[in-house]
Chains A and B, each alone.
Chain A
Amino acid sequence: MQDFGQAFSLAFQLIVSADPMLSEIIFLSLRVSLSAVIIASVIGLGIGATVGIVRFPGRSAIIVFLNALMGLPPVVVGLLVYMSLSHAGPFGWLHLLYTPTAMIVAQTVLVTPIIASLSRQVIEDLYIEYREQFLSLGVPPKMAVAALLWDARYSLLTVALAGFGRAIAEVGAVIIVGGNIKHVTRVMTTAIALETSKGDLALALALGLILILIALSVNATVSLLRLNASNSAYA
């Protein structure tokens, strides 16, 4: 297979030439997945903190349920969101099908359980450590949650990155609700699927390499921010 070498040189050419089609696709991928992760973080951290701290009947069942939802197949999420947003579905009147917003909705559904589940574990572990202190100082619950979220921020950032990894890598959901429409809803993964189906394996792999580079740079940026923050904290 000479395709490997060809893919590497093609990926390099695409990046160097700053192909406008490619930058459009990259920009949309980042926009959709980052939006989904931010929205999912807000919802997921809320759920994670609540389930992690508050004791209520049926809590273990909810934890098992959340953990199971981490394995939600993207194609099923895509189907559910398609059926909801389709004009024949309950939210058809919003006219969101085949738009980037629909893709954000699908990825948010996909990522929220991951963030909720992982952050629940992080916050619960920290809470066990802090509980005595909170009780002895009489910290009000709202402040306790704020302190937990703040002190766990680096672990929670990793949780968000896990969610981002899932969002940027999935193809099953966005291809159904987005439709892989050129210039409108084509993202990295759907473009890779398309080039593969055209039999242009070298170009597909080149796009795959670029996708890995993007994931790498997002992760690198976050760890740089983190490094800066912890350096200044001890300065």
Chain B
Amino acid sequence: MRIPTSRLWCACAALSLMLGLLLSGISQAEERFIILQSTTSTRNSGLFDAILPRFRAKTGIEVRVVAVGTGQALKNARNGDGDVLLVHAKPEEEAFVTAGWGVKRFDVMYNDFVIVGPANDPVGIAGLRQAGTALRKIFQTQAAFVSRGDESGTHKKERALWEIAAVDPLETGGRWYREAGAGMGATLNTAVGMRAYTLTDRGTWLSFRNKADYTILVEGDPQLFNQYGVILVNPAKHPHMKAGLGQQFIDWLVGPEGQSLIAGYTIAGQPLFFPNAPGGE
């Protein structure tokens, strides 16, 4: 019997060499970066790709964006897994700061939510000025509606709108209300696939590319206002976080340069976000 121990050692050596090559360079992480916990709606809109390279060119700071729902972003930031938050659920953001997890909250920009659905609009909500009325009509006809169902900013807004409509979609127990439990884009894909209505932020909608015959049916209700805020995670709670770099990013974002870049970001001539930081312009 051959017992090729030496060849086995050769194989082991080759493998460890390969592993060494694969792992080399991985730990050479750049130190001048921050983690931005943000939402799928801002990432999918393409805004970050448009503005972050400008910030990096100016300061040399890389902004690494983790895009999750607002609920998860707040949770991750509480765990200390982020330096800056850019999310859209003002009451929760204020609670986050009050509880001491964040330093201060600034308004950054806004856009609005819209209700989208198939162009033939079986329920007939097109052109309604009030989102609550539209949702009530969807409920009354038991037409399919897809909810984010993921504690995101959009989901929180949707629940607030159902309250205005005086409908509890979970209580009514019908099969018409479907929770996708997914990000904005995935939820839009689901809605289009089911011929269902859904609520989306305008930024994601404008950049979404699988619209089929879907169109905006309800817009313009002041209740559909969508405010984004930025918060520095409190370094007192998480000493390892990069407060200085994070603050530099916030100052830039709410300052004249960041604000004008946000205003200048358009898709097909339409702006996606409107800057409204207090000292921006």
Contacts and interface: CB of A to CB of B under 8 A. Distances in A.
Interface of A: 31, 34-35, 38-39, 41-42, 86-89, 92-93, 95, 97-101, 104, 133, 137, 139, 143, 146-147, 149-150, 153, 179-182, 184, 196-201
Interface stretch (B23-31, B111-119, B148-156): B23-31
A184 B64 contact: yes
A92 B166 CA distance: 45
Interface stretch (B125-133, B139-147, B180-188, B252-260): B180-188
Contact of B79 (A86, A139, A143): A86
A150 B240 CA distance: 47
A150 B8 contact: yes
Interface of B: 1-5, 7-8, 11, 15, 18-19, 22-23, 26-27, 29, 35, 40, 44, 49, 64-67, 76, 78-81, 182-186, 188-189, 207-211, 238, 240
* B18, B22, B183, B208 pick with most chain A CB within 10 angstroms: B22
Contacts of B189: 196-197, 199
A66 to B, nearest CB: 22
23 contacts: A31-B26, A34-B18, A34-B22, A38-B18, A38-B19, A86-B80, A98-B64, A101-B26, A104-B26, A139-B3, A146-B4, A146-B8, A149-B8, A150-B3, A181-B65, A196-B189, A197-B183, A198-B44, A198-B185, A198-B208, A199-B185, A199-B210, A199-B211
Nearest to A193: B186
A33 to B, nearest CB: 10
B8 A197 contact: no
Nearest to B18: A38
A199 B188 contact: yes
A185 to B, nearest CB: 8
A133 B1 contact: yes
Contact of B81 (A98, A104, A180): A98
